[in-house]
Amino acid sequence: MTLVTDRQQLAYVAAQAADARVNIELETEGMTLNIGPQHPATHGTLRIITRLDGEQVVWADPVPGYMHRGYEKLVEVRSYPQVTTLVNRIDWLGSFANEVPFILAAEQLMGIEAPPRAQWIRTILFELARIANVSLFLGDMGVQLGALTPVFYAFRDREFVLNQIESATGGRFHPNYDRIGGLKEDLPKGWIDETRAVMGKMRGFCDEMEELLLGNEIFEARTRGIGVIPADVALSYGLSGANLRASGVDWDLRRDQQLPMAWSQVDWKVWTHPDGDSFARYWVRLQETREATLIVEQLLDGLPAGSIMAKVPRIIKVPAGEAWVSTENPLGEMGYYIVSKGDTGPFRVKIRSASFNNISIVPWLLQGVYVPDVITILASLYFILGDIDR
Amino acid sequence: MTFAVELAYWQQSILRVVGVLVAVLLPAGTFVYVFLFKMMSFMQSRLGPMEAGPYGSMQLLAEVGKFLQKEDLAPERADRRLFVMAPFVVVVSAFLVYVAVPFGPDAFFADLSVGVFFVLAVSSVSVIGILMAGWASANKYSLMGGLRAAGQLIAYELPMVLAVVGVIIQAGTLNMQQIVIAQNEGEIFGFGLLGNPYVLTQFVGFGIFLIATQAELTQTPFDMPVAESELVAGYMTEYSGFRFLLFFIGEFATAGAFAAIAATLFLGGWGIPFLDMDANYMNVVGPFVLFGKIMLVAFLIFWFRFTYPRFREDQLQRFAWKVLIPVALVNILVTGLLKVAF
Amino acid sequence: MSLLSSTPDSETGPVADDRRVGLLAEITAGLGDAVAATHLIPGKDLWVRVNTADWLTAGRFARDALGCAYFCFLSAIDWLPSPFGKGEDDPTEPPPERSTAIEQGFTGGATRFQLIARTVSLQRHVGITWKVDVPDDLVEVESWVKVYAGADWHERECWEMFGISFAGHPGLRKLYLPGGFEGHPMRKDFPLLARLVKPWPGIVDVEPLPVGADDGGEAE
């Protein structure tokens, strides 16, 4: 009899303890919620530890590094041509755009410049990378908000751009096409006309996205006024790209910096939006995608003839020195600071990736925000994990 | 249920059980295939399942088999009893709704004189099931999904009920069978060919009812409880295998149930206006007519689901309390006035 | 649209040159003794190295006096040549002799570690690369967090990768690496483990040459 009573008592105490554990975990004052690293909304393995009060975020701390591959260490043992392969994979949606600043910095140290045809083709592929990257964002933001359909259109129409990149470079996602002094090989026959047709299709896609999402009242209700970033805060955190322009800052490296690329040879417009909220970021990226198609068409029209490779020695040794080149990548400002000691490979490369700065604002930005709005804000900031973690 | 042939009670019971299973599972299965697998895929510019059976028609069967052979998992700290009961509660409420829906002049499970009241009351039993699932899963995401669901489902019960009141005023009865008959034998200013489906006069009520149904089913744009990109699967996250299948079937069966209510109250139920309402063949034709109308209503529900992004919880609540309920109240007022006037 | 051609000319693009020359004059006038060395490549960039004690002052000066509101990045350079070379050493042979001389790059310096930071003025369309020596005995510099909020993460990364502390940083903790990681990976004396675990495939000739071919040639 006593045995049964003891066992009953023990069971009762155990049940109380289990309840207490659950209660402590679920106490409404400051529930700690882990968003990620496995989560549909974080594009990749980003972990954000949030402390919630009900549905409001009281404190947020992103923990990156689940995809840290140590690029800056890896490039120290490689030669310059080998680094392009590596560097493709930082921002894997717009890969060609990652190669360009590195190659330009190496060329700056060597004191050479790619011939005009190579510069123009580089610019065309750069803008194609931008279209491929940002068109995914246009659909993906819909998915984060619950509209399941636009992302399929985005993937479908993006295939046309990827086809063009593949037919020119051999790789849909990782072209590895840029070389110090020029390009790997020239464009295939018929590429120019095909690309022109594809640009028309992408403009149709942008119009479709504008109708489906920008004009939707629910989308507006979910994004207007959410995650407002004032311009001075954006600048002090080093936000770049569409995030900066959506806060009203008129700064675009393609226009405001002199680089041996072809942007200064064509007519195009920089889009800004004064609001600085999630809607503004989406709107700016949509306009930029459309603008990119116009840039590509103008570049295709004026493509100069000539060689695509300058005279460079077979074994490339870059003279000693330091150089910094940054470009307006699809995600923002991406730059490489190369320190060279006259060797076949770099001594130190600092990779300045856009998403690193874009996400560093998250602790400041997420204070007092509702959980669904957290998803909206993260989606609108648009980061790629490879870009944050390198 | 009355029969031309006299059947023993136990035979009648078996027939009833089989009948209700068919009535619940057939629309659910059809919705899953036609809307979820095919219509959603076509809208998203893809084909959907094509391998299992001709044009993927056996896919649902394959999915059922897959779910049945899965391991029975439950999280370690889950409240075992609640965890197990929750899916059954949700499914049961769908079954209960069909009890009062008429399928033909003599084909119904129970002819309740307070049919509409019963149906609306019983359809909210699923709220309890969702709350149980969210709490018992011992998972913070599930809990958040469950709490969101509780607020949302209770908030949208009111517009649904108020929208239906207009129909009740017009029909003058709570009996579902009588409402069907009233619609099909009614006349619009003397023109009797189309009957008097209440969707024409109660279009406001129909609209509110559809929106409230969308919210009751936690379909986008009201799917905060199951916000796929935030909470993965909300209150259903920890469920797998047969239990998840029950939730899945429950979701579509409930869709069918609400579509049946909408079809009965607004579209004229099982009847076709120019056909004889008492004829015996209507017992066979009626279910098919009702099924067709259910498909129409469900088409609208799922079309919205695949198009719109989702509301945030507070926007959802604001919409229910500040927009839908006042509009429904005005609708009742106007209906009452017009009913007295004409 | 600028009419500036993009050719790197020894006769400099005049606008960029004037801008940077003027900027350099402002910096030397405003910071005075704090500036240890400068380097200007016309048309390309401007490097300024400041004394360690004046790092925070330089940051404030950049933001307030020069109008550099945009914080680009902050990182470090370890000037020690890597004792492992390029990781191509043959594991069966003793490691070759390597120079251990620390040679800094532009603007010189006296320490093994140097910080680099870049700030940009959007109005003037020009950026400055700031450098500072990190003392070898106490590997610490002042933090720029109060000046540029974005420096927070950059300094955390510097700390975990190079081991450089930042005085005044709200909370230096690991950014990328897991909690129990020991060591500072970006330091040159921290080896690239991938090359240690498995020797670099390019140093050994895996396939023997066909019989009858003349002398090996490729033997290591």
Residue with tokens 């591959």: A69
State yes or no: pLDDT of C8 exceeds 50: no
Residue with tokens 């450098």: C131
DSSP letters of B291-305? HHHHHHHHHHHHHHH
Question: Given an 8 Å threshold on Cβ–Cβ distance, is A258 in contact with C186?
Answer: no
- Could you tell me the maximum CA-CA distance found in chain A, to the nearest angstrom? 100
Quick check: A201 and A131 in contact, CB under 8 A?
no
Quick check: A323 and A337 in contact, CB under 8 A?
yes
Quick check: A388 and A48 in contact, CB under 8 A?
no
Q: How far is CA B250 from CA B78, B130, B259, B296, in A?
A: 22, 11, 14, 20
Q: How high does pLDDT run on average in chain A?
A: 86
State yes or no: pLDDT of B212 exceeds 80: yes
Question: Distance between CA atoms of B297 and B266, rounded to whole angstroms?
Answer: 10
With beta carbons under 8 A apart, name residues in chain B contacting A18: 77
pLDDT value at position C6? 37
The full length of chain C comes to 220
Confidence bin at C215 (pLDDT 50/70/90): very low
Quick check: C112 and C79 in contact, CB under 8 A?
yes
User: Would an 8 Å CB–CB cutoff place C4 in contact with chain A?
Assistant: yes
pLDDT value at position A29? 55
pLDDT value at position A300? 92
User: Would an 8 Å CB–CB cutoff place C40 in contact with chain A?
Assistant: no
Question: Given an 8 Å threshold on Cβ–Cβ distance, is C176 in contact with A321?
Answer: no
DSSP letters of A9-39? HHHHHHHHHHHHHHHHHT-STTEEEEE-SS-
Choose between C150 and C4: higher pLDDT.
C150
Q: Which residues contact B210 (CB under 8 A, 6 or more apart)?
A: B262, B297, B300, B301
User: Would an 8 Å CB–CB cutoff place A33 in contact with chain B?
Assistant: yes
Shortest distance between the Cα of A332 and any Cα of chain B, in A, equals: 25
pLDDT value at position C207? 59
Shortest distance between the Cα of A246 and any Cα of chain B, in A, equals: 22
Structure tokens at A288: 């930029």
* 3 state SS of A371: helix
pLDDT value at position A331? 92
Question: Distance between CA atoms of C141 and C164, rounded to whole angstroms?
Answer: 7
Mean pLDDT over residues B9-15, rounded? 86
Question: Given an 8 Å threshold on Cβ–Cβ distance, is A235 in contact with C69?
Answer: yes
pLDDT value at position B219? 83
Radius of gyration from C-alpha coordinates of chain A = 24
Do chains B and C meet with 3 or more Cβ pairs nearer than 8 Å?
Answer: no
Question: Distance between CA atoms of C44 and B242, rounded to whole angstroms?
Answer: 67
Question: Given an 8 Å threshold on Cβ–Cβ distance, is A153 in contact with B45?
Answer: yes
State yes or no: pLDDT of C166 exceeds 60: yes
Residue B94 has a CB neighbour count (10 Å cut-off) of 26
Question: Distance between CA atoms of C142 and C60, rounded to whole angstroms?
Answer: 12
User: Would an 8 Å CB–CB cutoff place C205 in contact with chain A?
Assistant: no
Question: Given an 8 Å threshold on Cβ–Cβ distance, is C116 in contact with A337?
Answer: yes
Question: Distance between CA atoms of A85 and B64, rounded to whole angstroms?
Answer: 46
User: Is residue A11 packed enough to be buried (19+ CB in 10 Å), middle (13-18) or exposed (0-12)?
Assistant: exposed
Do chains B and A meet with 3 or more Cβ pairs nearer than 8 Å?
Answer: yes
Quick check: A330 and A135 in contact, CB under 8 A?
no
Question: Distance between CA atoms of A226 and A275, rounded to whole angstroms?
Answer: 10
User: Would an 8 Å CB–CB cutoff place A63 in contact with chain B?
Assistant: no
Looking at residue B110, its amino acid is: A
Distance of CA A357 to the CA centre of its chain: 11
The values of phi and psi at residue A7, to 5°, are -65, -40
Task: Provide the whole-model pTM.
Answer: 0.83
State yes or no: pLDDT of C2 exceeds 60: no
Q: What is the pLDDT of residues C50-62, one digit of tens each?
A: 988 889 999 999 9
- Could you tell me the maximum CA-CA distance found in chain C, to the nearest angstrom? 75
Confidence bin at C198 (pLDDT 50/70/90): confident
Pairing, β C126-134 against β C113-121? antiparallel
Selecting from A235, A326, A339 the residue whose C-beta is nearest the C-beta of C77 gives A339
Q: What is the pLDDT of residues B240-298, one digit of tens each?
A: 888 888 888 888 888 888 999 999 888 888 888 777 777 777 778 888 888 899 999 99
Selecting from C69, C103, C153 the residue whose C-beta is nearest the C-beta of A236 gives C69
With beta carbons under 8 A apart, name residues in chain B contacting A144: 229
Selecting from B138, B223, B228 the residue whose C-beta is nearest the C-beta of A22 gives B138
State yes or no: pLDDT of C220 exceeds 50: no
Radius of gyration from C-alpha coordinates of chain C = 22
Quick check: A219 and A213 in contact, CB under 8 A?
yes
Confidence bin at A132 (pLDDT 50/70/90): very high
Question: Given an 8 Å threshold on Cβ–Cβ distance, is A218 in contact with B310?
Answer: yes
User: Would an 8 Å CB–CB cutoff place A31 in contact with chain B?
Assistant: yes
Shortest distance between the Cα of B92 and any Cα of chain A, in A, equals: 29
Question: Distance between CA atoms of B186 and B177, rounded to whole angstroms?
Answer: 14
Quick check: C160 and C182 in contact, CB under 8 A?
no
Choose between A385 and B313: higher pLDDT.
A385
User: Would an 8 Å CB–CB cutoff place A217 in contact with chain B?
Assistant: no
Question: What is the interface size between A and B, counted as CB pairs within 8 Å?
Answer: 82
Q: What is the pLDDT of residues C92-113, one digit of tens each?
A: 777 777 777 888 888 888 888 9
Q: Which residues contact A109 (CB under 8 A, 6 or more apart)?
A: A318, A319, A321, A322, A323, A338, A340
Quick check: B174 and B164 in contact, CB under 8 A?
no
Closest CA to A151 of B250, C60, C123, B40: B40
Give the neighbours of chain C: at least 3 Cβ pairs within 8 Å: A
Q: What is the pLDDT of residues A31-83, one digit of tens each?
A: 777 777 766 656 778 888 888 877 778 888 888 888 899 899 999 888 888 88
**In chain C, which residue's Cα lies nearest the Cα of A67?**
C176
Confidence bin at B227 (pLDDT 50/70/90): low
Confidence bin at B229 (pLDDT 50/70/90): very low
Residue C194 has a CB neighbour count (10 Å cut-off) of 13
Shortest distance between the Cα of A181 and any Cα of chain C, in A, equals: 13
Question: Distance between CA atoms of B290 and B277, rounded to whole angstroms?
Answer: 14
Q: What is the pLDDT of residues B115-165, one digit of tens each?
A: 899 998 988 888 888 888 888 887 777 777 788 788 888 889 999 999 999
pLDDT value at position A281? 93
pLDDT value at position A227? 87
Selecting from A108, A113, A238 the residue whose C-beta is nearest the C-beta of C7 gives A113
pLDDT value at position A3? 54
pLDDT value at position A115? 93
Residue A45 has a CB neighbour count (10 Å cut-off) of 17
Alpha-carbon torsion angle B32, B37, B41, B43, nearest 10: -20
Quick check: C107 and C39 in contact, CB under 8 A?
yes
Residue C2 has a CB neighbour count (10 Å cut-off) of 14
ipTM for this prediction: 0.85
Q: Which of A256, A264, A348 to mutate to test the interface with C (most CBs of C within 10 A)?
A: A348
Residue A171: CA count within 13 A, CB half-sphere: 16
With beta carbons under 8 A apart, name residues in chain B contacting A226: none
Q: Which residues contact B85 (CB under 8 A, 6 or more apart)?
A: B129, B132
Quick check: A340 and A319 in contact, CB under 8 A?
yes
Residue with tokens 């034709």: B285
State yes or no: pLDDT of C12 exceeds 50: no
- Least confident residue range of A95-104, B32-41, C202-211: C202-211
pLDDT value at position C70? 92
